């Protein structure tokens, strides 16, 4: 029996998390869910969007499945999603982007993984007003975190039989910070002669991603580039409704969450695509050693997408979240 912390979050979070739970339950892998509310309403009740009991539960269980939590834009409390990553020391964000059967996109042959550094860079939240009208934001890059993420990317490549790691940077402009990041990647690359290593400037990376995405394999980058580039990669394979991710900590804690946010524009209407979170659940099952259950979930998703009859609006269909979930569960049983 596994115990998994479940954080439905807010916005479309509860809808897509519920869908993923139903799919996992259909695999009959014995999982006990420890469910915790988090987000805007919790903030109103307890004065924090993410109470301590949530952290304690993840620390205890080492595995969590999480829906998105809304971050107020411009003002208000800082991102609970970032707070969770920081407090649990989840330094690596793994975001695979792969063409899915039946999802027609402009690109074929996309099968890449963005490894995003999760703990520093411009996300350090160090901003201040120098004088009215002038603001300074600090970008923090450390040798320790850069070596750690580079090592993680190469280890990931070896473990998953991947051939190449691309370090993405802007060291021509940010010579010290991105220069340090690159230097760390180079040092680590020397330990993995069996994996090809290349460096690419972030703007060129974006251009090549939309012209020749099939040339990419594992990509490693700082936090902000990772945020932007991985959304771009989600777009290559059909959008945010389809892309899962895992946040991994130094001591093996993993929090699985979709790349998408809380999508307030469609929240509470049973319109959200649950597939990203269902694929997160498949990643989770695989990491728990339940490989055949993970495969069954993926097969269910692939079958429903290939048939193309039951799809949410983001994929051009008119099905609800519940209908897509039902179809996936039915397809898993075939
Ligand atoms: P955040 O800053 O929290 O990452 P965001 O501003 O990037 O959030 P999202 O909440 O991810 O934005 O939503 C971006 C767009 O994608 C919205 O129009 C939203 O409706 C759509 N979207 C996101 N997730 C889904 C989903 N699972 N199903 C359908 N549409 C989605």
Span from the CA of 214 to the centroid of ligand 1 (angstroms): 25
Run of H or E including 254? strand 254-258
List 123, 156, 225, 256, catalytic entry: 123
Model-level pTM? Answer: 0.91
Q: What is the pLDDT of residues 294-328, one digit of tens each?
A: 999 999 999 999 999 999 999 999 999 999 999 99
Q: What pLDDT was estimated at residue 85? A: 87
Would you say residue 87 has pLDDT above 70? yes
pLDDT band for 46, please (50, 70, 90 cuts): confident
**What is the best residue among 227, 260, 312 to mutate for testing ligand 1's pocket, by most ligand atoms within 8 Å of CB?**
260
Q: What is the pLDDT of residues 114-168, one digit of tens each?
A: 999 999 999 888 999 999 999 999 999 999 999 999 999 999 999 999 999 999 9
Mean pLDDT of the 84-99 span: 93
Would you say residue 75 has pLDDT above 70? no
Percent share of the chain, pLDDT over 70: 99
The region of weakest confidence among 48-57, 285-294, 311-320 is 48-57
Mean pLDDT of the 17-44 span: 94
Run of H or E including 328? helix 321-333
Helix intervals (H) in 218-290? 223-236, 275-287
Would you say residue 74 has pLDDT above 70? no
Mean pLDDT of the 206-221 span: 98
Mean pLDDT of the chain: 95
Domains in the chain: ranges and CATH:
1-90+240-334 (3.40.718.10), 106-236 (3.40.718.10)
Would you say residue 180 has pLDDT above 70? yes
Provide the edge-to-edge strand list for the sheet that holds 254-258.
31-35, 2-7, 63-66, 254-258, 244-248, 92-98, 111-117, 218-221, 164-169, 196-201
**What is the best residue among 40, 263, 266, 278 to mutate for testing ligand 1's pocket, by most ligand atoms within 8 Å of CB?**
263
- From residue 265, alpha-carbon distances to 41, 80, 276 in Å are 17, 20, 18
- Please report where in the chains the tokens 């050693």 appear, as a residue: 289
Positive/negative CA dihedral, 146, 149, 152, 156: negative
Q: What pLDDT was estimated at residue 80? A: 85
Would you say residue 334 has pLDDT above 80? no
170 is an active site residue: yes
Q: What is the pLDDT of residues 26-38, one digit of tens each?
A: 999 999 999 999 8
DSSP string of 107-152, one letter each residue: --S-EEEEEEE-S-BGGG--EEEEETTEEEE--B--HHHHHHHHHH
Asked whether the beta carbons of 68 and 273 are under 8 A apart, the reply is no
* CB within 8 Å of 85: residues ≥ 6 apart: 91, 93, 118, 119, 247, 255
Q: What is the pLDDT of residues 253-287, one digit of tens each?
A: 999 999 899 999 999 999 999 999 999 999 999 99
Q: What pLDDT was estimated at residue 226? A: 97
In this structure, which residue's CA is closest to atom 20 in ligand 1?
A: 263
Would you say residue 10 has pLDDT above 70? yes
326 is an active site residue: no
**How many Å apart are CA 228 and CA 221, to the nearest integer?**
11
List 121, 170, 178, 197, catalytic entry: 170
The three-state secondary structure class of 98 is strand
In this structure, which residue's CA is closest to atom 9 in ligand 1?
A: 261
203 is an active site residue: yes
Run of H or E including 93? strand 92-98
Q: What angle do CA 114, 260, 174 make, to 5 degrees?
A: 45
Span from the CA of 33 to the centroid of ligand 1 (angstroms): 25
């Amino acid at each position: 029996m596994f115990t998994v912390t479940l954080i439905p979050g807010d916005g479309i979070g509860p809808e897509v998390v519920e869908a993923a739970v139903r799919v996992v339950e259909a695999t009959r892998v014995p999982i006990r869910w420890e469910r915790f509310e988090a987000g805007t309403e919790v903030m109103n009740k307890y004065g924090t969007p993410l109470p301590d009991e949530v952290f304690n539960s993840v620390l205890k269980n080492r595995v969590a499945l999480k829906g998105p939590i809304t971050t107020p834009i411009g003002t208000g409390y800082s991102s609970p999603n970032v707070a969770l990553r920081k407090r649990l020391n989840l330094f690596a964000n793994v975001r695979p982007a792969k063409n899915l059967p039946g999802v027609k996109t402009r690109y074929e042959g996309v099968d890449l993984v963005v490894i995003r550094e999760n703990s520093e860079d411009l996300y350090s939240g160090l901003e201040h007003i120098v004088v009215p009208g002038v603001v300074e934001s600090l970008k923090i890059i450390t040798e320790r975190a850069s070596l750690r993420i580079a090592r993680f990317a190469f280890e990931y490549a070896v473990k998953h039989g991947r051939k190449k790691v691309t370090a993405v940077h802007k060291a021509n402009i940010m010579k010290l910070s991105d220069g340090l990041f690159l230097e760390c990647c180079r040092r680590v690359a020397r330990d993995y002669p069996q994996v090809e290593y290349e460096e690419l400037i972030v703007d060129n990376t974006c251009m090549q991603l939309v012209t020749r995405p099939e040339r990419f394999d594992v990509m490693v980058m700082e936090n902000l580039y990772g945020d932007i580039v991985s959304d771009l990669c989600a777009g290559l394979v059909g959008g945010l409704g389809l892309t899962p991710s895992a946040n991994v900590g130094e001591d093996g804690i993993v929090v699985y969450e979709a790349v998408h946010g809380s999508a307030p524009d469609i929240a509470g209407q049973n319109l959200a695509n649950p597939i990203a979170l269902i694929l997160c659940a498949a990643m989770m099952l695989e990491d728990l050693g339940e490989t055949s259950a993970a495969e069954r979930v993926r097969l269910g998703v692939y079958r429903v997408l290939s048939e193309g009859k039951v799809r949410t609006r983001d994929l051009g269909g008119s099905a609800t979240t519940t209908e897509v979930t039902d179809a996936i569960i039915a397809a898993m049983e075939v």
